Structure 1
């Protein structure tokens, strides 16, 4: 499959890379890492990164301004995005050919060319392996700025190598990437440092989460609470794993209220929860998923279903 991806890339002068809405470091890491990788080895090609920027990821980089005309005759590559509804910038269909590179379950098998590997820790890991193949077969080179992006995506999606998705191939990739010249300490600080306001909200989560005898836990963060702590809904993504160290906890959900919907962030230490996410219009990994609720009554239904899953 890597050979087909490279052959396809060779055929196009313009390549536009998309990723999912509400991006995380693996979305940026795989998107920008691939952009820099292609630019390094095919400098004659025009490579653009599409999507709305998330200011919490300023330390990683910025997407490009992409015009409608750029899509004419272009190859569109979507990274780290399981289904078409979650692709940031729905102009992705305007290109001449569509490619998918992802590590989520392939429930929405879009794209004429597709590389989906759910055994990979992250899409950034898959991009590294694409480079490794290209290095062997095409004498590809990996610039340090691409290595930085891919390393960021890997350590973020593995929880600094703590999640079960971490495998020997993950460590192999990370071990090669740290050989490149980028400041790992600065990168780690960008990934994990928090403003005081966010730490105060984390304290609120610790004080107010509810866990029942099944091992299911939840916490509700309303817009009033966000306003009280001076935190945006987007910034709360850094707090999703906060309850992971609670003894006896099996799975948890954090609800974040926005103007028109409630974000549902699900995490698990054992029970599979992506089926629950799908029930509420979402999806994701077996142990890390997201969905949307449109009322607190609907959020309560998520809690009840999570209790059932943890009790079974």
Structure 2
């Protein structure tokens, strides 16, 4: 499969790379890391990474802005995105050929060519595997810029290698990546340093979360609370792991009110939660998922469903 992807990359002069909406470090790491990887090995190709920029990822990179006509006769690659509803920039379908590279469950098998590995810790890990294949097959090189982005993506999606998804292979790949010349401290600072107002919101979360006897924890962050702490909904992505440190917690949900919907951030230490996310317009990994509620009443149903999952978890 990896060689088929490399063959397709070699066939096209224009390559456009997409990822999911509401990007996280692995979305940028895999998408823009792939762009940097291809740029050094194919300097004569036009390679773009598209999608809405999230300012919390300024320290990593920024995507490109391109006109519609660039998609004509282009190869389109989508990384780290389980289903078409979550692809950032709907123009992904306007290219000549579509490749999906992902590590989420393959519930939406879109694309002309698919490489899905649910055992991979991150999509950035998969892009490194693609590089390894390319180095053997086509003598690919890995730039420092690409290594930095792939490392950040792996660190982000494994929670600094704390999550069960971090395998022996994950650590081996991370060890190879840090042979390149980039500042790991700068990466870690960008991933985990928080503005004072965000830390104050985190303090509010610790003081106001609820948890039932079965280890289901939750917190509601209304627009009024976000305004009080001068935090945007996207900023709260940096706090998604906050409730993981609570003794006895099995799974948790952070509910963040936006203009016209409530963002549902689900995480777990054991109970499977991605099926719950699918019921509420979302999806993701078994232990890390996202969804959407369109009222606080619907958000309350998410909480009750999470409580039931934790209650039945053995």
* TM-score between both structures, scaled by the size of structure 2: 0.99
User: How much does 1:245 deviate?
Assistant: 1.1
- Asked if 1:310 corresponds to 2:283, the answer is no
Q: Which runs of 5 or more residues in structure 1 are unaligned?
A: none
User: How much does 1:4 deviate?
Assistant: 0.3
Separation in 2, partners of 1:130, 1:169 = 14
User: How much does 1:66 deviate?
Assistant: 1.2
- Asked if 1:9 corresponds to 2:9, the answer is yes
- Asked if 1:162 corresponds to 2:162, the answer is yes
Tell me how many residue pairs correspond in the alignment: 312
1:246 match: 246
Separation in 2, partners of 1:129, 1:155 = 16
Q: Which runs of 5 or more residues in structure 2 are unaligned?
A: none
Separation in 2, partners of 1:86, 1:246 = 31
Q: How does 1:7-86 map to 2 (within 5 A)?
A: 7-86=7-86
Q: CA RMSD in A?
A: 0.5
Separation in 1, partners of 2:267, 2:186 = 27
User: How much does 1:44 deviate?
Assistant: 1.0
2:90 match: 90
Separation in 1, partners of 2:36, 2:217 = 41
Separation in 2, partners of 1:43, 1:285 = 35
Runs of 4+ in 1 over 6 A off after TM superposition: none
SS of match in other structure, 2:17: strand
User: How much does 1:145 deviate?
Assistant: 0.2
SS of match in other structure, 1:205: helix
Separation in 2, partners of 1:186, 1:50 = 24
2:185 match: 185
Separation in 2, partners of 1:41, 1:252 = 43
Separation in 2, partners of 1:50, 1:193 = 26
Separation in 2, partners of 1:278, 1:252 = 16
User: How much does 1:214 deviate?
Assistant: 1.1
SS of match in other structure, 1:137: helix
Separation in 2, partners of 1:230, 1:134 = 46
* TM-score between both structures, scaled by the size of structure 1: 0.99
1:223 match: 223
- Asked if 1:214 corresponds to 2:221, the answer is no
2:281 match: 281
User: How much does 1:136 deviate?
Assistant: 1.4
Separation in 1, partners of 2:165, 2:271 = 15
User: How much does 1:133 deviate?
Assistant: 0.9
Q: Deviations over 1:226-248 (max 9, x none)?
A: 00000000000000000101111
SS of match in other structure, 1:235: helix
2:128 match: 128
SS of match in other structure, 2:78: strand
